[in-house]
Amino acid sequence: MQTTATKVRPRETVKDTPDNFFTPIGNTKPYFKAAFQGFAGSGKTFTAAQVAIGLHKRIGSKKPIVIFDTEQASKFLKPMFSEAGIEVLVRESKSLADLKQTMEKMRTGISDILLIDSISHVWEGFLQAYAEKVRRTRLEFQDWGVIKPTWKREFSDPFVRDQYHAIFTGRAGYEYDNEKNEETGKREIFKSGIKMKVEGETAYEPDMLVLMERFEEVLQDDKKVWREATVIKDRSTLLDGRTFKNPDYTNFSPAVDALLDDPIPRDATILPESDTGLLFRTEEEKAEWRRERDKWMEELDGLLIRIAPGAVGRDKQLKLDLLDRVFGTTSMTAIGELRPERLAEGYKKLGMEAVEMGIAEIINLPDGRKRLVSKLPPNGNGNGNGNGHVHTEEKSMPAPAKKGAKKK
């Protein structure tokens, strides 16, 4: 078993493509995403925890594992994690709002691995909360037009997209179908399969889906109880359809290695997606969209000038680094194709990135407003700029009281 962290290949260029719209194929999502489904007592929680521990060692993580616990059952896993020497952070809740916040904290780097046990309780709580909000005891057909897109937006899409390893468990339920009995002429209902008790597509969003089952032989003198794991889906195809008795991490490690193999940073090749919604808008809406986009592009330009006034050398490089951190590209053309709300979000994040990098700070102005100003020393011609801009905010800050004084 490998014990070192996965090494990311150096940033690659896409010089083999004519305009950077297409990119070479590569592993831009080197994160293991898996789901374990099963009936009560099938061992899904225990097996998922074993996989999380093995994955933690595989990537050489030094961070705690985060468990979103809907069953208050994580306490039974404590000996297992303690033996492995792994710290665990737990959030006990069944709320999708709390799970969303947990995933937001995962994006900040608090942990490398998230374990959700179980997603079925979150889904059931989500349905109940919606029914209470619309004051219904039974959901109607039109409700699903709200429920499914909301679940996809708040859980499924972030789960797939987020850059950390994630595993969830889910309760299994039977699928039913019906057919006509040729002897009686009546339609009869029968069990046709097993599915996870969650929104229909959720179980198949991860790279791997595993069915856990419990077996027993208790009528003989030699009584036996065991669990089996059957791989229902495996994107690596290495384990697809395989069954393991009393499984542990080693059974799934070939697929894990394949999914983590030879990673490349996604922002090295992938440009931001363009706004498809623009295709459906009226001319008036398109014009409003462009005005909002242009406004935020000007705001971004002004913010970058306040942070690093120069147009060359150090200041230019810092501005490029900030754009790359926030938007994943240094192309203003690509950034200009983003939604205005995405630009507004990027504007705020860019300022915070500059503060975290130590090249800017937030100050309080005499009128109570806050202003982001540069902390960079002068660069170039002595007034802190390289293109004719005068860095007035930074010069005026040492004596704010005089700035508000009346002129004689």
Residue 91 lies in a domain: yes
Radius of gyration (C-alpha) of the chain in whole angstroms: 27
Do 296 and 232 fall within a single domain? Answer: no
Both tokens of 302, joined, read: 């002004």
Distance, CA of 256 to CA of 2 (rounded, Å): 11
Beta bridge partners of 65: 88
d(CA 260, CA 4): 12
Q: Parallel, antiparallel, or unpaired for β 243-245 and 224-234? A: antiparallel
* Residue 79, helix vs strand vs coil: helix
Predicted confidence band at 390 (pLDDT cuts at 50, 70, 90)? Answer: very low
Q: Examine residue 408 and state whether it is found in any structural domain, yes or no.
A: no
What is the arithmetic mean of pLDDT over 402-408?
45
Could you tell me if residue 13 is inside a domain? Answer: no
DSSP H/E element including 50: helix 44-58
Question: Is residue 41 included in any domain, yes or no?
Answer: yes
Q: Which helix (H) or strand (E) holds 147?
A: helix 144-151
Q: In whole angstroms, give the CA distance from residue 396 to residue 367.
A: 14
Torsional class of 371: left (φ above 0), alpha (ψ -120 to 50), beta (otherwise) = beta
Q: What is the pLDDT of residues 137-185, one digit of tens each?
A: 888 888 999 999 999 999 999 999 899 999 999 999 887 777 777 777 7
Is 405 within a domain?
no
Tell me if 374 is assigned to some domain: yes
Indicate whether 11 belongs to any domain: no
User: What φ, ψ does residue 294 adopt, rounded to 5°?
Assistant: -65, -35
- In a shared domain, residues 256 and 302: no
Most trustworthy range by pLDDT among 131-145, 244-258, 306-320 = 244-258
Question: Shortest CA distance to 374 belongs to which of 329, 325, 330, 310?
Answer: 310
Instruction: Report the predicted TM-score, pTM, of the whole model to 2 decimal places.
Output: 0.64
Query: What local confidence, expressed as pLDDT, does residue 385 receive?
Result: 41
Residue 111 is predicted with a pLDDT of: 96
pLDDT given for residue 280 in this prediction: 66
- Provide the CATH number for the domain around residue 197: 3.40.50.300
Least confident stretch, 28-37, 173-182, 304-313: 173-182
Number of domains in the chain: 2
Same domain, 261 and 141: yes
Return phi, psi of residue 401, to 5°.
-65, -40
Q: Are residues 75 and 114 in the same domain?
A: yes
Inform me whether the pLDDT recorded for 16 exceeds 50.
no
Amino acid at 103: M
> What is residue 248's predicted lDDT score, i.e. its pLDDT?
94
Domain boundary pick from 242, 265, 288: 265
pLDDT at residue 403 greater than cutoff 50: no
For the stretch 202-222, pLDDT in tens is: 989 999 999 999 999 888 888
- Please check the confidence at residue 34 and state whether its pLDDT lies above 50: yes
Same domain, 160 and 72: yes
Q: Within this chain, do residues 320 and 208 fall inside the same structural domain, yes or no?
A: no
Say if residue 178 is exposed, middle or buried (CB neighbours under 10 Å; 0-12, 13-18, 19+): exposed
The answer to whether residues 256 and 147 belong to one domain is yes
Any residues with CB less than 8 A from the CB of 342 and at least 6 apart, and which? 272
Indicate whether 286 and 216 sit together in one domain.
Answer: no
Distance CA 324, CA 334 (A): 12
**Partners of 224 in beta bridges:** 217
Based on the fold, state whether residues 77 and 166 are members of the same structural domain: yes
Q: Please give the sequence-ordered ranges of beta strands (E in DSSP) within 9-49, or none if there are none.
A: 33-38
Residues of the chain with pLDDT > 90: what percent? 43
Q: Are residues 212 and 232 in the same domain?
A: yes
Same structural domain for residues 235 and 298? no
The domain in which residue 310 lies consists of 276-396
pLDDT in tens, 327-370: 888 888 888 888 888 898 889 888 888 888 888 888 888 887 88
- Classified as helix, coil or strand, 228 is strand
User: Residue 395: what pLDDT?
Assistant: 36
Confidence at residue 405, expressed as pLDDT on a 0 to 100 scale: 47
Is position 122 within any domain? yes
Q: What is the pLDDT of residues 251-308, one digit of tens each?
A: 999 999 998 987 766 555 556 666 676 666 677 777 887 888 899 999 999 889 888 8
3-state class (DSSP) for residue 371:
strand
CB 36 within 8 A of CB 47: yes
Domain finish residue from 210, 232, 265: 265
Last residue of a domain, one of 265, 286, 309: 265
Considering the domain architecture, whether residues 261 and 280 belong to the same structural domain is answered as no
CA distance 120 to 94: 9
- How far apart are the C-alpha atoms of 38 and 336, rounded to whole Å? 47
